């Protein structure tokens, strides 16, 4: 954003009472460490400052912090009931065939068996086939490589969720 004025949504976020801001951040990312770091850095002058702080916090999450963050994400193809965020983010699976949904379930289970956590991908804008292809490709990764891919994907998801929080009126 090149404007010198702070977007109304960011102004509102900066002005939130601490507990309300913390709750909003935890809805964006389930990691306590990430949310606390972003909370401590308020107020933000620009959305880019907020996103940069999110990226920096994501880069420093421990393995346990990443596990906590991932625990807030449902498997691809099975958004949390009543959660419009996960339904919107996984909308690429909404129109998928029963065969594709069944294949994603199998792949999710195989991935979780191998890595011990859900398959995590920034699903926004991806088709069911693209997500299936990604899990097929990534299931062959060594665990250390996969953790770093998960960290990157979480960072993308967090930016999208933060943008919805601070850029919408």
Residues designated as active site = 73
Q: How many CB atoms lie within 10 A of CB 101?
A: 16
Backbone angles phi, psi at 161, to 5 degrees: -70, -40
**Of 34, 56, 4, 12, the residue nearest 169 (C-alpha):** 12
* Residue 57 CA: distances (Å) to CA of 30, 38, 54: 13, 8, 5
Half-sphere exposure of 80 (CA within 13 A, CB side): 10
């Amino acid at each position: 954003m090149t404007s010198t004025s702070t977007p109304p949504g960011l102004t509102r976020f900066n002005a939130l009472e601490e507990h309300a801001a913390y709750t909003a951040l935890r809805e964006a990312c389930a990691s306590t460490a990430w949310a606390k770091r972003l909370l401590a850095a308020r107020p933000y002058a620009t959305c880019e400052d907020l996103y940069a702080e999110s990226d920096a916090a994501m880069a420093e999450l421990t393995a346990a912090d990443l596990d906590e963050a991932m625990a807030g994400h449902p498997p691809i193809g099975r958004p949390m009931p009543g959660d419009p965020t996960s339904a919107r983010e996984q909308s690429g699976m909404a129109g998928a065939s029963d065969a594709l949904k069944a294949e994603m379930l199998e792949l999710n289970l195989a991935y979780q068996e191998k890595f011990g956590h859900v398959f995590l991908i920034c699903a926004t804008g991806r088709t069911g086939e693209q997500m299936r292809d990604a899990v097929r490709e990534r299931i062959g990764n060594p665990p250390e490589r996969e953790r770093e891919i998960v960290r990157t994907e979480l960072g993308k998801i967090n930016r999208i969720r933060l943008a919805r929080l601070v850029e919408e009126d």
